[in-house]
């Protein structure tokens, strides 16, 4: 029999690893560009390989978790991420560099989806609150990696730092070996047919397209905030990066608070308040003409975005307990498509009329999330606890 606290700790370790590895490429991209400048490295292609890997991981984890359970899946995905990080640290080949980035993304995609589905499965009550607590560890990992590189780079080159991090990532692998996980939910073949049937479920599609826009909004904030601040309020590069860091800190703090709030307040009410906060922050950001006001608006927007993934994944965990892994897999794939497509759309908008329109696109996406949330509630009715 498994112990929930031990399994929850394993999932938290996995999300911490995912947060660290996801941010690694952006943190060392300038150093990689210098190292491979004479070897034909394409930085744009390199950055594009990471989300492809995450998408591959999102496709894989659900059916495999439902059929074979989570233990082997988490062990394999963390080990793959650690091995790929070692390769990233020491390779001198651009081709192998692309491969390492892909497997960092793939391992992370499996950890993210599998860890979230696992926590939903072991949380009979307050799934959203448990998923919020899980998300805090992703935020700590994401914030910790740039800080670690910034502090240690004064004394060590980045390959030594990455190699050390990759070595310590093996500790969760050892931990997972020695604890008991929940048994697989399916005893027959990998449930591909059932997964295909889920694609016809209106509730799953509504929740997934909510996450399509949620992921797109997060991508816009992560990728375009610095450009927007430099354009709109003449922020320096350091000021823009500081604002982005505090926005991510707001997201992490918001998820920490959610773990408490969702045990006391209706998750639907929390979502309505959260989306309203983000929408208000978007309009303040659009109207702002000073860096301090923009800074505060971004931090508030980050906190408001904290509820989306934990609450919606909590709904899916309640709706599809027998195939939670497959349902989460579908939701994450659609969310990642939103991340890519909305980010690409703003890349076009950035050329004309310019980055100043970022808050308007954010507001449009949040409005779509409002509509989808209301439609989801009407469709599900009393099937889940709101």
Question: Contact 20/164 with Cβ under 8 angstroms?
Answer: no
Q: 246, 226 in Cβ contact below 8 A? A: no
**pLDDT for 299-317, tens place per residue?**
999 999 999 999 999 999 8
Give the whole-angstrom CA distance, residue 170 versus residue 290. 45
Residue 370 reports pLDDT greater than 60: yes
Residue 200: Cβ-neighbour burial (10 angstroms; 0-12, 13-18, 19+)? exposed
> Which residue carries 């696992």 as its tokens?
118
Residue count (the chain): 386
Q: What is the mean pLDDT of residues 153-173?
A: 85
pLDDT for residue 190: 56
Does pLDDT of 264 surpass 90? Answer: no
Which of 36-45, 49-58, 81-90 bottoms out in mean pLDDT, i.e. has the lowest?
36-45
Output the pLDDT for position 284. 93
Number of other residues whose CB lies within 10 A of the CB of residue 221: 21
pLDDT tens by residue, 237-249: 778 878 888 888 8
Contact partners, residue 162, CB within 8 Å, separation at least 6: 24, 28, 85, 86, 88, 89
Separation CA 178–CA 89 (nearest Å) = 29
The Cα 216–Cα 156 span in angstroms is 36
The pLDDT tens digits of the residues spanning 55-79 come to 899 888 888 888 888 999 999 999 9
């Amino acid at each position: 029999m498994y112990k929930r606290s031990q399994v929850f700790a394993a999932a938290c370790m996995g999300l911490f690893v995912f947060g660290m590895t996801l941010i690694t490429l952006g943190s060392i991209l300038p150093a990689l560009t210098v190292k491979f400048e004479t070897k034909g490295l394409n930085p744009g292609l390199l950055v594009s390989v990471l989300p492809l890997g995450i998408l591959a991981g999102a496709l894989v984890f659900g059916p495999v978790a439902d059929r074979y359970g989570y233990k082997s899946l988490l062990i394999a995905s963390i080990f793959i991420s650690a091995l790929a990080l070692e390769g990233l640290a020491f390779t001198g080949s651009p081709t192998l560099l692309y491969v390492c980035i892909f497997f960092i993304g793939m391992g992370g995609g499996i950890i993210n989806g599998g860890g979230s589905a696992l926590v939903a499965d072991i949380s009979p009550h307050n799934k959203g609150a448990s998923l919020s607590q899980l998300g805090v560890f992703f935020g700590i990992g994401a914030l910790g990696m740039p800080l670690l590189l910034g502090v240690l780079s004064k004394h060590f080159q980045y390959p030594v730092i990455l190699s050390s991090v990759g070595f310590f990532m093996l500790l969760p692998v050892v931990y997972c070996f020695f604890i008991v996980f929940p048994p697989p939910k399916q005893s027959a073949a990998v449930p591909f047919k059932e997964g295909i049937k889920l694609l016809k479920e209106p509730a799953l599609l509504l929740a997934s397209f909510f996450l399509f826009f949620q992921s797109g909004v997060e991508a816009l904030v992560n990728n375009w905030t610095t450009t927007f601040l430099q354009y709109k309020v003449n922020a320096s590069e350091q000021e823009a990066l500081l604002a982005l860091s505090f926005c991510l800190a707001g997201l992490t703090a918001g998820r920490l608070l959610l773990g408490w709030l969702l045990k006391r307040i209706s998750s639907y009410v929390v979502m309505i308040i959260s989306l309203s906060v983000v929408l208000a922050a978007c309009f303040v950001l659009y109207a702002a003409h000073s860096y301090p006001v923009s800074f505060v608006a971004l931090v508030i927007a980050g906190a408001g975005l904290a509820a989306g993934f934990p609450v919606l994944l909590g709904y899916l965990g309640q709706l599809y307990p027998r195939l939670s892994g497959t349902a989460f897999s579908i939701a994450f794939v659609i969310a990642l498509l939103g991340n890519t497509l909305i980010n690409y759309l703003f890349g076009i908008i950035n050329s004309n009329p310019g980055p100043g329109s970022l808050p308007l696109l954010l507001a449009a996406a949040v409005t779509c999330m409002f509509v989808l949330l209301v439609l989801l509630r009407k469709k599900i009715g009393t099937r889940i606890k709101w």
